Chains A and B, each alone.
Chain A
């Protein structure tokens, strides 16, 4: 029987499907490999549902445009890769400071600089965390297969609206360009979070930047009855610039705490055979596919191997990683960079001398054999 909800798609297309499912209204972007298909597909799909697509003059403008559109009440997204993500960093900080919901997709390629545009890398993990200047918190999510790309894209919109924060979807070239099966959920099957809007009536003072007790800030759309100021400067409850030390202190705490206090709510991960695992692989994105293959291959051969696949990279779920790894003799982080999540795992677990890395940094996708070869060395079984 033919199921019209089953599609054979690229990861980039799965992201587009997820964004449309989540209610994307507005997309601004600039062409860049390997993310371009997202812009191409949305230029076709968005106007079909009355949404808006615009190709801006660069990635800086793209970020600016989605922030502006978000303030009118739209669900917004942009998509890019390495160099474009670098250009977006200043406006990303603006979205953090002004608490503007938006989703930024980075289909990672090799860097620094123009790097290796058509090949895979996972080198932007730290950039997602600390790319913009100043103290801040950020949410960054990834996935290893297309069903999860769809799901995490929907999640990204939900988290973005819930916490009024930009959310970065940090996929990679292999996930973006691999074609595989995607089952589209029916509308209503996955929960969608709509923006929390103020109930303050016209003529009554609305304080756009006065958090409720739960830390959330109900919004009022531009064009509505409440006129207020939005700025990237430190600001008071009216949204007006302030250098009052108390205002500055309270705002930075609020911006960091609203994410930090919800680490476990934001944490998404998958686990395979962790219960009795003596050796735990920790991976994310496309490299988690190879890691999982290794686990499935070696388990029947008697190796007590498990996999912790991280989807939420930031805020890093330190407690969860620590707890899952408590009984492991070896912990091996599988990634395609020089040890960005490795460092976080070492910071998270007791006895960090147990933590090793299996990586590739040459633009070539890490294979199960690459991981197995490194495992033999770590486990003292020779080269």
Chain B
């Protein structure tokens, strides 16, 4: 199907600024879904609040635009109630890891089958450029005029420690890799986390003198390296991208099916 077939044209133009990376993530996501040949009726996209979360409105699936930080909680209800649905949860970094941090680690711990996409632009864009839990020490933001003294999470390490059974990272520069990873993540049975470094030239870029959107994407090109590469050993500052965790673990809804089976047997 043409990519246009997955989009609600009625709701365009989108709200994203020129140069925003989120459109690239949307593009990659739709190409991944297209390659998987999934029916639009079996996909539910659940999002929270923020620039990234507007993705849900633009795509022609069942879409649930929820509360700031709570997308994974709503998604858990959707998935558990009707496990045959494919649930995809695009979130921003503040949405997923500040206000929604608790839901993030508990969803990972349960290993409930859904795909969490953390679109990491290191800033709260929709409210105008405040520091997020991924901005990092020394960055500038409208709420860190003297520089940020908050340390950043490493999304991959956090998701891994919390028990996610699929963890990956890519960037908006590496669209082919991103599409491939998203495909893998959607196919993976369990809680999948895909962090995508996505540029915000309007706020993070401007505040931190990162140049244009193209400059920021070039930064992703020059400062990332495939997982386990020798380049990382030589330059520890490089950010690794690729699949970090992919393991088979009991999936939550499948486990609950066993509970139902047991409860029904015992009560009959």
Contact = CB atoms under 8 A, between A and B. Distances in A.
Interface of A: 25-26, 28, 44, 47-50, 52, 54, 56-58, 60-74, 76, 90-91, 94, 222-225, 227-233, 238, 240-241
B62 A228 contact: yes
Contact of B264 (A50, A76, A90): A50
Nearest to A28: B77
Given A223-B42, A240-B10, A58 B102 contact: yes
B61 A227 contact: yes
Contacts, number: 140
Given A60-B73, A69-B78, A222-B78, 6 more contacts: A54-B76, A61-B70, A67-B66, A68-B81, A227-B60, A229-B57
Contacts of B42: 223
24 contacts: A28-B76, A50-B260, A52-B260, A61-B103, A61-B106, A64-B73, A64-B103, A65-B77, A66-B77, A67-B66, A67-B74, A68-B64, A68-B75, A72-B78, A90-B67, A91-B67, A94-B66, A222-B64, A227-B40, A227-B61, A229-B63, A229-B64, A232-B66, A238-B10
A231 B260 contact: no
Contacts of B79: 68
A224 B75 CA distance: 17
Nearest to B267: A48
B40 A60 contact: no
Interface of B: 8, 10-11, 40-42, 44, 46, 56-57, 60-67, 70, 73-82, 84-85, 102-103, 106, 256, 259-260, 262-264, 266-267
B53 to A, nearest CB: 10
Contact of A25 (B62, B66, B81): B81
Q: Sort A-B residue pairs by CB-CB distance and give the 5 closest, nearest first.
A: A68-B77, A64-B73, A65-B77, A47-B263, A69-B81
Contacts of A28: 76-77
A50 B257 CA distance: 9
B263 A57 contact: no
Contacts of A231: 57, 65
Most buried by B among A50, A60, A91, A223: A223
A376 B170 CA distance: 76
Most buried by A among B40, B67, B81, B260: B81
A64 B41 contact: no
B66 A74 contact: no
A41 to B, nearest CB: 13
Contacts of A76: 77, 81
B49 to A, nearest CB: 8
Contacts of A64: 66-67, 70, 73-74, 76-77, 103
A253 B82 CA distance: 33
Nearest to B259: A47
B13 to A, nearest CB: 13
Nearest to A68: B77
A65 B67 contact: no
B58 to A, nearest CB: 9
Contacts of A91: 67, 70
Nearest to B86: A223
A64 B89 CA distance: 14
A223 B84 contact: yes
A241 B63 CA distance: 12
A222 B62 contact: yes
B73 A65 contact: yes
Nearest to B69: A60
Contacts of A232: 65-67
Contacts of A48: 263-264, 266-267
B33 to A, nearest CB: 13
Nearest to B110: A54
A67 B64 CA distance: 10
A52 B76 contact: no
B59 to A, nearest CB: 9
Contacts of B67: 64, 90-91, 94, 232
Contacts of B262: 47
A227 B62 contact: yes
A134 to B, nearest CB: 13
A62 B46 CA distance: 16
Nearest to B261: A47
A65 B74 contact: yes
Nearest to A46: B263
Nearest to B103: A61
B102 to A, nearest CB: 5
Contacts of B62: 71, 222-223, 227-228
B63 A230 contact: yes
A229 B66 CA distance: 10
Contacts of A223: 41-42, 44, 62, 82, 84-85
A62 B74 CA distance: 8
B259 A56 contact: no
B60 A222 contact: no
A222 B78 CA distance: 8
A278 to B, nearest CB: 51
A254 B76 CA distance: 29
Contacts of B77: 26, 28, 64-71, 76
B111 to A, nearest CB: 13
